[in-house]
């Protein structure tokens, strides 16, 4: 009998690691990708529609970084690191899958590497935290620098990032489609990993399901990119400036009301103190 205690840690826990890897790719990383692409595609309805959804996300306030790290960044890092280990053979494959001889097996790993590189670039270009050190970088593929996304000017800032050059726009389309393929095909392979569809007939049905899902999500992703690339930035800025003025006016009225209430409370206390 083999002494499993002498095997490397990754080999001893291959079963668990592979299932956590496939699960993290679907939830929450895959779920977030769907929400993110649908949100971005709302720009096709105009700056107001996109800004409204961005405002809803950022209404989480101080809780937003916690949500980002717990449900996006950490699961994504785990999925990426384990994926690289699998490609390099550090996580063994003791199962026997005909899928390994399929071109989809190679594409799954290739798109995974492309998707990871794209996501790193995208986060640096857009995110205020990761992109801050690159804010003044003006070389391809960051011709507009890092941390360019402004949640209060969501449409114009995102559109500017994609409209810096046709090459940047093409890179976005390639990156998004790589992410979509990796998720859609991963949905099919996850069913094999978890033993959900084990027969040839079940795998064929699941294949059509994954294909339909990938096509729909791919259309949404490409639509989001095209929407950003064709957005009229001047019109978006006009809307955002008008919205900023409305926020300032609302804050001014709140401050005036607070001052009046404070003054009225002071008058009441003074009247009470001088009453016989």
Each residue's pLDDT tens digit, 33-60: 999 999 999 999 999 999 999 999 999 9
CATH class (in words) of the domain with range 7-231: mainly alpha
Please tell me whether residue 27 adopts helix, strand or coil conformation.
Answer: coil
Entry pTM: 0.87
Say if CB 128 and CB 147 are below 8 A apart: yes
Question: What pLDDT score was predicted for residue 47?
Answer: 96
Question: What pLDDT score was predicted for residue 78?
Answer: 96
C-alpha distances in Å from residue 265, one per residue of 139, 260, 261, 262 = 58, 8, 6, 5
Contacts of 175 (CB under 8 A, 6+ apart): 114, 115, 117, 118, 119, 121, 122
Question: What pLDDT score was predicted for residue 6?
Answer: 65
Report d(CA 141, CA 114) in Å as an integer. 15
Report the greatest alpha carbon distance in the chain.
98
Q: Is 195 left (phi over 0), alpha (psi -120 to 50) or beta?
A: left
Question: What pLDDT score was predicted for residue 260?
Answer: 84
Which of 157, 92, 91 is CA-nearest to residue 125?
157
pLDDT digits (tens, 9 = 90+) for 210-220: 999 999 999 99
How far from chain centre, in Å, is Cα 142?
A: 19
Question: What pLDDT score was predicted for residue 98?
Answer: 59
Report whether the peptide linkage leading into residue 141 is cis, meaning its omega lies within 30 degrees of zero.
yes
Name residues of the chain where pLDDT drops below 50: 1, 96
Which of 127, 128, 147 is CA-nearest to residue 137?
147
Question: What pLDDT score was predicted for residue 167?
Answer: 94
Question: What pLDDT score was predicted for residue 102?
Answer: 80
Report d(CA 101, CA 192) in Å as an integer. 15
């Amino acid at each position: 009998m083999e002494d499993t205690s002498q095997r490397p840690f990754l080999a001893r826990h291959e079963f668990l690691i592979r299932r956590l890897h496939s699960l993290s790719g679907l939830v929450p990383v895959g779920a977030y990708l769907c929400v993110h692409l649908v949100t971005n595609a709302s720009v096709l309805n105009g700056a107001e529609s996109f800004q409204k959804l961005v405002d809803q996300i950022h209404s989480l306030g101080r809780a937003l970084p916690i949500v980002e790290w717990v449900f996006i960044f950490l699961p994504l890092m785990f999925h990426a690191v384990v994926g690289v280990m699998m490609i390099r053979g550090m996580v063994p494959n003791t199962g026997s899958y005909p899928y390994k001889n399929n071109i989809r097996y190679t594409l799954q790993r290739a798109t995974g590497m492309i998707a990871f590189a794209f996501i790193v670039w995208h986060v640096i270009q857009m995110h205020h935290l990761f992109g801050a050190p690159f804010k003044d970088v003006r070389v391809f593929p960051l011709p507009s620098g890092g941390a360019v996304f402004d949640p209060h000017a969501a449409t114009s800032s995102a559109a500017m990032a994609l409209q810096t050059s046709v090459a940047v726009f093409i890179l976005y389309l390639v990156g998004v489609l790589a992410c979509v393929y990796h998720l859609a095909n991963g949905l099919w392979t996850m069913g094999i990993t978890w033993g959900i569809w084990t027969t040839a007939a079940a795998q064929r049905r699941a294949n059509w399901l994954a294909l339909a899902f990938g096509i729909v999500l791919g259309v949404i992703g490409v639509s989001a990119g095209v929407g950003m690339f064709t957005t009229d930035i001047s019109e978006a800025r006009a809307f955002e400036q008008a919205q900023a003025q409305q926020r300032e006016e609302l804050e001014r009225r709140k401050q005036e009301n607070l001052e009046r209430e404070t003054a009225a409370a002071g008058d009441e206390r003074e009247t009470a103190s001088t009453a016989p």
